[in-house]
């Protein structure tokens, strides 16, 4: 049983969804990004997505794009990601969220080795599909890492089936089409997508894209196994600092527990 398996077993026993928070490494500085990740856990986040800064974050909205650009200009590199994972895993399970190019450049074998050595639990690869992920799947399996692929409302039943049998840890369900970012209302297509995905897997299903407050977290927690929050944390950190991240985490954590 992996650390993610243990996490979801615990949250299910508590009758609630897990809370997952994302922040990119190096924004606004390496030290502040790690402090903010730890603050998320202190506020109630169960799993941390450690973001890999990348020059072309095509699936990310403007809030994350600006933050990642600032991180890169400040000197953030892939090597810092492993340092951040090592720091965060002392407090909660950590998965890397990263585009395929940096992994391929380092090579899947080396990336997996370094991620495992840092105590990481797996990696979410938003621009990689299972059919093209052979080297990564092999490396992840060798180092007991959980590979996580995405599904979206547009995904066919065939795509859901492939992801359902390939993923480990959990399935990432993107609740809307388009780029990441907070929204006033979480797409009502998310619940439909989760129901469709459950026909193809027994893995936990997390919903991301759009959640920004405790009320929205409670809404998603009614039908999902995890509530994934990114842009709201990035905005809180950029606007008000680490303490704001902790406060937001507490609000979101209260939201996922309303269904318990």
Q: Which domains does the chain have, with CATH numbers?
A: 3-255 (3.20.20.70)
pLDDT score for 58: 59
* Angstrom distance (rounded) from CA 45 to CA 227: 10
Low-confidence ranges of the chain (pLDDT < 50): 177-184
Peptide bond into 28 cis (omega under 30): yes
Q: So what's the pLDDT on residue 88? A: 98
Structure confidence at residue 60 (pLDDT): 73
pLDDT of residue 189: 85
Which pLDDT tens digit goes with each residue over 184-219?
455 578 999 999 999 999 999 999 978 999 999 999
- Show which residues are catalytic: 49, 60
């Amino acid at each position: 049983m992996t650390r993610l398996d243990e996490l979801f077993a615990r949250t299910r026993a508590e009758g609630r969804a897990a809370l997952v928070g994302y922040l990119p490494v190096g924004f606004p500085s390496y030290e502040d990004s790690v402090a903010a990740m730890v603050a998320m856990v202190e506020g109630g986040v169960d799993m941390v997505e450690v973001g890999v800064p990348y020059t072309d974050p095509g699936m990310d909205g403007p809030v994350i794009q600006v933050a990642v650009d600032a991180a890169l200009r400040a000197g953030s590199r892939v090597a810092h990601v492993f340092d951040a994972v090592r720091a965060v895993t002392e407090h909660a399970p950590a998965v890397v969220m990263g585009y395929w190019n940096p992994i391929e450049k380092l090579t899947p074998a080396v990336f997996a080795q370094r991620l495992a050595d840092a105590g990481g639990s797996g990696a979410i690869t938003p621009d990689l599909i299972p059919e093209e992920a052979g080297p990564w799947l092999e490396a992840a399996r060798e180092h007991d890492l959980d590979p996580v692929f995405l599904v979206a409302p547009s995904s066919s039943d065939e795509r859901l089936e492939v992801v359902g049998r390939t993923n480990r840890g959990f399935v990432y369900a993107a609740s809307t089409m388009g780029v990441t970012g907070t929204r006033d209302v979480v797409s009502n297509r998310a619940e439909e997508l989760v129901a469709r995905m459950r026909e193809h897997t027994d893995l936990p299903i997390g919903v991301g894209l759009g959640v920004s407050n405790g009320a929205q977290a409670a809404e998603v927690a009614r039908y999902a196994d995890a509530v994934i929050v990114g842009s709201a944390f990035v905005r809180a950190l950029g606007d008000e600092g680490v303490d704001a991240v902790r406060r937001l985490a507490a609000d979101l954590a209260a939201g996922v527990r309303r269904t318990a």
